[in-house]
Amino acid sequence: MRMTGERLWLRLEPWLPILIVGLGLIGWETASRAGLLSPLFFPPPTKILNTLLQMIINGKLLPHLSATLSRLAIGFSIGGLSGLVLGLGMGWSPRLRTVVDPLIAALHPIPKIAIFPLIMIIFGIGEASKVVAIAIAAFFPMLINCMSGVRQLNPVYFEVTENYGASAWKTFSRVVFPGSLPSIFTGVRLAVNMAMVIAIAVELLAAKEGLGVIIWFSWQTLRIEELYASLIVIGVLGFGINLAIQSISRKLAPWQVEQSERQE
Amino acid sequence: MVFECIELSKSYVSRGAEVTALQSVDFTVREQEFVCIVGPSGCGKTTLLKIIAGLIEPTSGKIVFSIPQSNGHLRSAMVFQEQGLFPWMSVQDNVAFGLETQGISLAERRELASDFIVKVGLAGFMHSFPHELSGGMRQRVAILRAFLANPHILLMDEPFGALDSQTRLVMQEELLRIWRDHRKTVIYVTHDIEEAILLGDRLLVMSGRPGRIRQEINIPLERPRHLANRDHPEVAEIRWHIWKMLEDEVRKDLSILS
Ligand SMILES: Nc1ncnc2c1ncn2[C@@H]1O[C@H](COP(=O)(O)OP(=O)(O)O)[C@@H](O)[C@H]1O
Ligand SMILES: [Mg+2]
């Protein structure tokens, strides 16, 4: 009897989140339509979905979406790449680490959005300051994960490369980089998420286009369905990016994925 | 002669205290000799191998090598105690790694590695990752890598120490078989007295804290050797002799009164 109960549970388990969300949405829909929830602030989900479709069809969404995405792409590339290079370098070279680590420790905890005015003073109120803010947001998680990725490599790997007379480049390309790949991918995921947060935040503050802009305008003009619709877009975007990173990391670092899956 | 260790000493400083891992270690190794270094754990065996490999510097003393230093030919390759394989490389690439640093093209080193892997019967695992192999297979791959790099001297640090005793027996035989085909000078470190007797031409028995060489013993067993040699009366005699020599020390280490 217990066996079948357990088996039933196992079969239901993957559907549980969908079930909970579905029930929640149905509850929201009925409550909103019945007037139990203010339809102005909590419009029924079907209405939100309809608004979202409208925004897609009439082309209102696209320029904002592409503005956010291109900022994200450029900012993330700059910040992520510098974090990668400096992080791997700091992981590998104790000397570099002792010099730069205190600096990182001091700068990292500063909320990135708090220095945005400063960034605007330096880089102007145009596109550059937004990209820089996103880059800074991506930089730190990338750097910290890359550094710890190298540092947690078993020292015996370096004895092996030294033993076989590997050059510094060989040691980097065959050991330091591939060995840190799993941590690098963790860094990429965290960095993308941070970059996304800051991208939307700076758009709320100062931008003409972007998902953050829609959110702000829909709040000011009380078109709350549009606010919800943009939140859905951001959520789906984040989910998709994370999924993509996960599948790339599965491809490029298969040993790690299989190891961690076996532990589960 | 391949090399000579002269008055090698090594001290580590850890947390302010100095630990003498090796003290005045003197010995000579001849061409194509299989030398086993046996001693209780912590007596400085790994330290000694790493000094020979050039991975760490002795505190005093030196090693004089008398093998020609030719370009692109490794002087020594080490098989590490464990975890020496790169988890992100396939078996084939792991085995080929020793050639990679010697300027051999990708196609050629993959082919050489495959030949080697096939010859020992690991063909089915060519493209597997190390975590997909058993502990015994992993050590075989590590040994293949060292042999394929074709170093003058092979340094082996308790390569079978983590394996169960049945697997170890089979691995010992296989090591001897590979060694018969690719004669090299081997320095083999182990804490297993019987293993040392079965494999070595000569044994260096070490005592611990500070590590030094207590005695050199020649093993008169004929080659090729087999598992059956274990029951040879001579083996039993040498084993007993070495055990008596190390017994006091092991007891002292464990604070057991004899
Ligand atoms: N890097 C190190 N720092 C400090 N002490 C060490 C280090 N490596 C080894 N030792 C010490 O040196 C002694 C010999 O170690 P090792 O050569 O590993 O012995 P074995 O391989 O025979 O077990 C041990 O007491 C060990 O604690
Ligand atoms: Mg050891």
pLDDT tens-place string over residues A94-122: 999 999 999 999 999 999 999 999 999 99
Give yes or no for residue A7 having a pLDDT over 70.
Answer: yes
Mean residue pLDDT of chain B comes to 90
Phi, psi (rounded to 5 degrees) for B77? -130, 145
Cα(A225)–Cα(A50) distance, integer angstroms: 9
Query: Where do the domains of chain B lie?
Result: 83-151
**Lowest pLDDT segment from A49-53, A233-237, B13-17, B57-61:** B13-17
Give yes or no for residue A178 having a pLDDT over 90.
Answer: yes
**Residue at A225 is within a domain:** yes
Q: What's the pTM value of the predicted model, to 2 decimals? A: 0.87
pLDDT tens per residue across span B203-249: 999 987 788 999 999 998 888 887 777 778 888 888 898 888 888 77
pLDDT tens per residue across span B170-208: 889 989 988 988 889 999 999 899 899 999 999 999 987
Confidence of residue B60 (pLDDT cuts 50, 70, 90): very high
A253 with B88: Cβ contact below 8 A: yes
Read off the pLDDT of each residue in A130-136 and give the average, rounded to a whole number.
Answer: 97
- Counting residues of chain A whose pLDDT is more than 90, the rounded percentage is 81
State the Cα angle at A185 between A197 and A128, rounded to 5°. Answer: 40
Nearest by CB to A163, from B55, B89, B129: name it. B55
For residue A250, the domain's CATH number is: 1.10.3720.10
Query: Distance, CA B241 to ligand 1 centroid (Å)?
Result: 26
Q: Is A260 on the interface with B (CB under 8 A)?
A: no
Give yes or no for residue A196 having a pLDDT over 60.
Answer: yes
Read off the pLDDT of each residue in B146-171 and give the average, rounded to a whole number.
Answer: 91
Amino acid at A238: G
Confidence of residue B10 (pLDDT cuts 50, 70, 90): very high
Residue B211 CA, closest ligand 1 atom number: 14
Write the ipTM: 0.90
Helix A211-220, helix A224-252: angle, nearest 10? 160
Read off the pLDDT of each residue in A194-208 and give the average, rounded to a whole number.
Answer: 93
pLDDT of residue A262: 43
Cα(B156)–Cα(B117) distance, integer angstroms: 19
**Residue at A71 is within a domain:** yes
Count the domains in chain A: 1
Cα(A252)–Cα(A246) distance, integer angstroms: 10
Query: Which residue has the least CA distance to atom 2 on ligand 1?
Result: B12
Query: Distance, CA A73 to ligand 2 centroid (Å)?
Result: 50
B149 with A164: Cβ contact below 8 A: yes
Residue A158: domain span: 63-263
Read off the pLDDT of each residue in A121-144 and give the average, rounded to a whole number.
Answer: 95
Q: Is B84 on the interface with A (CB under 8 A)?
A: yes
Compute CA B157 distance to the chain's CA centroid, rounded to the nearest angstrom: 4
pLDDT tens per residue across span B122-134: 999 999 999 999 9
Please report the DSSP string for A163-232 in residue order: HTT--HHHHIIIIIHHHHHHHHHHHHHHHHHHHHHHHHHHHHHS-SSSHHHHHHHHHHTT-HHHHHHHHH
Helix A127-151, helix A94-107: angle, nearest 10? 130
Give yes or no for residue B121 having a pLDDT over 70.
Answer: yes
pLDDT of residue B97: 95
**Residues A27, A30, A35, A40, CA torsion sign:** positive
**Residue at A51 is within a domain:** no
Token pair of B63 as six digits: 């090693």
Cα(B105)–Cα(B120) distance, integer angstroms: 23
pLDDT of residue A64: 94
Confidence of residue A70 (pLDDT cuts 50, 70, 90): very high
**Residue at A218 is within a domain:** yes
Cα(B88)–Cα(A157) distance, integer angstroms: 11
**Residue at A16 is within a domain:** no
pLDDT tens per residue across span A34-61: 988 888 889 999 999 999 999 999 999 9
Give yes or no for residue B53 having a pLDDT over 90.
Answer: yes
Closest by CA position to B53, among listed B142, B154, B145, B150 = B154
